Structure 1
Amino acid sequence: MPRIVLPSPPVDSEQTRSFRTHASYIRAFRELALGNSGSPLEETLAGLHASATPILFKPGGLPSSCDRDQLLACLRRAWATARLLEHTHALAQDSEIIRLANSWGTIQAYYVMYGAAQALMVAKGDTRPQMHEPTKRRYVGLWTSCGLQIAPWTLAAAAPGTRLADADGILGGPGRALNVDLHPWVAWQGEQAWDIAARALRSTRQLLIEERLAKRRQEKLTARKKQWRLDQQACAASGRKPEPEPKVGRLTTAEREEAAAGFRPTTIADYLFRLRIKANYKDVTVFSDGPTSDSEAAQVGADLVALASATLLVHELRIAAIIGSSDLVKSMDAVLLQASGEAIGGMAHRRDLHAGLS
């Protein structure tokens, strides 16, 4: 079969600019989760497990009356999606196909987060939310508002003045002023991952607020039109000249400020959902046409795989603290046994790490 060669995009195309920005954001979240040592994923996951266990694995509370079948179903969906992400990256990383694979990889990374978060919610005895927005809203209470400090999962962007937030509205930061104006294209490194991740969350929050304002404007326009129709009836009855139909629903400054200030904190779950919408609906070519080289695309794929596996690990630790590490490991063993010798990457390694919990 002849080798497929995709044309290289212009170095300054809209897709390339967008790709660079999101590649930087994804890398920042991955570095907050696993560091920037460049070590193999197995080593960085072991390091995360060691540092996160004292924070997240605190058994001994009241037993949860959770729906174990629902819990396992949520975990299986997250695990299966992570395996698809890993396998696709492993098969495609040395070919041009990686650029196409990353479009699905961003979607899969979100669904790993979605399934893992819902599994933890169920483990805590709550009902599983049926839609994306309730899941993202409850994620805030699950991680950002629960008193834990483990980035990037507890990091969030809120309105300035929010309790416990810094001057720019960042919750769960590193305890220093963040440079939220740091451009994602600069050659940032080390502790600057905090600044880039905060910028990603702030920009995501702004997009969500703009959507909220658009909805409020439409609601106001609908109300104005309803009142206009009533007024037209009165005009017709009195013989007065009819007024023109309203075309816009402008918000006052106070209404805009209230909508922005009242919006919930924005988390990594919101950012990954933003990528899902972008890659699946709004700009389906950004991850296929955006990279200027296959190596750029391969790095994004590797970062998505690492971030997904780290996300599963921290959720699994909290679930193990509730249902018991032995039950979690047994559930993982059942899935691994069904793999029938397939390479299952991060899951097998996480299983071994969890097996050492006591």
Structure 2
Amino acid sequence: MARIVFSAPPVDSEQTRSFRTHASYIRAFRELALGESTLSLEDAVAGLHASATPFLFTPDGAARACDRGQLMACLRRAWATARLLEHTHALAEDSEIIRLANSWGAVQTYYVLYGAAQALMVAEGGTRPQSHEPTKRRYVDLWTSRSLQIAPWTLAATSPGSRLADGDGILGGPGRALDFDLHPWVAWQGEQAWDIAAKALRSTRQLLVDDRLANKRREKLAAKKKQWRVDQEVRMASGRKPAVEPKTVRLTVAEREAATSAVRPATMADYLYRLRVKANYEDVTVFSDGPSSDHEATEVGADLVALASATLLVHELRIAAIIGMNDLVKAMDAVLLHASGGSTGGLAYRRDLHARLS
């Protein structure tokens, strides 16, 4: 059985620790999507297509009205980004530049999901969100808030006690208690992908919670200062000694609980956005300096490619159920017709899988 094993790095740097953690998270999402990496990517994608089709490709009669131009523009962006990811990984796979390629690969994987999710939102008759937060927020409704379970897309972390969540606040989980003490660096395998992926989502939601609590403290401090200024005018008018301007505030337990429970569920869209920000802004060296070997870097690149392809496939199936499989295949053919170079990556393979349903 395949296992994820990270060799001990020569120097336990901050970049190495961060890389090993995120490499494990990425592998967990990839395994929930496509199973353990014992099959070729094409065989794994074919298996996902066969298992997901009965749940996702359920046409409900005549094609629904939507902005086809906007829909296809979103899909083409997602397909083009995935193709760049695939080609870059293929070209860099056996060279030292795979580390640099993965920095962009993390960003590209997020944008594949971003474009595919927006395409599905438009297909369902909505408007395309204009920024990241509305897209991630609507992604929750797109996948998690439905009577559908297909991990990792429907997996989410929310507040314990939330409706439909388990006792640990996990939506769409495996129906068992999850081990949040399982360290992402250990040689986990099989069903433990659920534990690692849930840990990734839980830590991602905690970042959202921390941001909300910080905002609430700023709001409370601003209100306190406003009241202080009013009080100062009264004190000065009465000749009393000025009070010290407040510099900090603390939230009450009730305020903290209310703010925390109001934070929406965190999904894989949030995790990939977190990875995008980390790789592109916060720590641009995590993928270049973090791996202890080029082999580790290559494995992460392959997992990103696989996760992007799987993400496109499930969105394509749901879109085809709305607009018709023939129209989706025609759109894929139009892109493939003008594709330069000899390789067309996952798009051509998924097109052939979809064509069998048309």
TM-score w.r.t. structure 1 length? 0.96
Q: How does 1:51-66 map to 2 (within 5 A)?
A: 51-61=51-61, 63-66=63-66
For residue 343 of structure 1, report the CA deviation from its aligned partner. 1.1
The answer to whether the Cα contact below 8 Å between 1:105 and 1:304 also exists between their aligned partners in 2 is: yes
| Distance in 2, Cα, partners of 1:276 & 1:213 | 23
1:193-239 CA distance string (max 9 Å, x none)? 00100000011111110011111111111111222122212222111
| Distance in 1, Cα, partners of 2:10 & 2:195 | 28
Q: How does 1:3-42 map to 2 (within 5 A)?
A: 10-42=10-42
Gaps of 5+ in 2: 1-8
For residue 61 of structure 1, report the CA deviation from its aligned partner. 4.3
| Distance in 2, Cα, partners of 1:99 & 1:37 | 21
Asked whether 1:233 is paired with 2:233, we answer yes
> Structure 1 residues 280 and 37, CA, compared in 2 at 3 Å: closer, same or farther?
closer
Asked whether 1:323 is paired with 2:323, we answer yes
Find the counterpart in structure 1 of residue 292 from structure 2.
292
For residue 249 of structure 1, report the CA deviation from its aligned partner. 2.8
| Distance in 2, Cα, partners of 1:130 & 1:181 | 38
| Distance in 2, Cα, partners of 1:257 & 1:337 | 55
For residue 282 of structure 1, report the CA deviation from its aligned partner. 1.1
| Distance in 2, Cα, partners of 1:220 & 1:63 | 50
The answer to whether the Cα contact below 8 Å between 1:10 and 1:16 also exists between their aligned partners in 2 is: no
Find the counterpart in structure 2 of residue 124 from structure 1.
124
Find the counterpart in structure 2 of residue 139 from structure 1.
139
> Structure 1 residues 103 and 341, CA, compared in 2 at 3 Å: closer, same or farther?
closer
Q: Secondary structure at the match of 2:249?
A: coil
Residue identity in the other structure for 2:180: V
| Distance in 2, Cα, partners of 1:155 & 1:199 | 11
For residue 341 of structure 1, report the CA deviation from its aligned partner. 4.2
1:252-272 CA distance string (max 9 Å, x none)? 111111111121111000000
| Distance in 2, Cα, partners of 1:136 & 1:70 | 18
The answer to whether the Cα contact below 8 Å between 1:204 and 1:271 also exists between their aligned partners in 2 is: yes
Find the counterpart in structure 2 of residue 301 from structure 1.
301
| Distance in 1, Cα, partners of 2:65 & 2:342 | 34
| Distance in 2, Cα, partners of 1:253 & 1:310 | 42
| Distance in 2, Cα, partners of 1:51 & 1:228 | 62
1:78-128 CA distance string (max 9 Å, x none)? 111101111111111111101111111101100001000000000000011
Measured on the aligned residues, the alpha-carbon RMSD in Å equals 1.3
Find the counterpart in structure 2 of residue 242 from structure 1.
242
| Distance in 1, Cα, partners of 2:73 & 2:24 | 33
Find the counterpart in structure 2 of residue 278 from structure 1.
278
Gaps of 5+ in 1: 1-8
The answer to whether the Cα contact below 8 Å between 2:25 and 2:197 also exists between their aligned partners in 1 is: yes
Residue identity in the other structure for 1:153: W
For residue 135 of structure 1, report the CA deviation from its aligned partner. 0.6
> Structure 1 residues 237 and 10, CA, compared in 2 at 3 Å: closer, same or farther?
farther
Runs of 4+ with >4 A deviation: none
| Distance in 2, Cα, partners of 1:242 & 1:222 | 19
For residue 141 of structure 1, report the CA deviation from its aligned partner. 0.7
> Structure 1 residues 324 and 62, CA, compared in 2 at 3 Å: closer, same or farther?
closer
The answer to whether the Cα contact below 8 Å between 2:156 and 2:170 also exists between their aligned partners in 1 is: yes
The answer to whether the Cα contact below 8 Å between 1:18 and 1:290 also exists between their aligned partners in 2 is: yes
| Distance in 2, Cα, partners of 1:279 & 1:124 | 32
| Aligned residues with identical type, % of pairs | 78
Find the counterpart in structure 2 of residue 264 from structure 1.
264
The answer to whether the Cα contact below 8 Å between 2:19 and 2:291 also exists between their aligned partners in 1 is: yes
Find the counterpart in structure 1 of residue 312 from structure 2.
312
Residue identity in the other structure for 2:339: A
Find the counterpart in structure 2 of residue 91 from structure 1.
91
For residue 344 of structure 1, report the CA deviation from its aligned partner. 1.4
Q: How does 1:88-237 map to 2 (within 5 A)?
A: 88-237=88-237
The answer to whether the Cα contact below 8 Å between 2:63 and 2:324 also exists between their aligned partners in 1 is: no
1:162-187 CA distance string (max 9 Å, x none)? 11211101110111111122110110
Q: How does 1:62-77 map to 2 (within 5 A)?
A: 63-77=63-77
Count the aligned residue pairs. Answer: 351
| Distance in 1, Cα, partners of 2:11 & 2:333 | 47
| Distance in 2, Cα, partners of 1:69 & 1:312 | 18
Q: Secondary structure at the match of 1:39?
A: coil
| Distance in 2, Cα, partners of 1:319 & 1:243 | 62
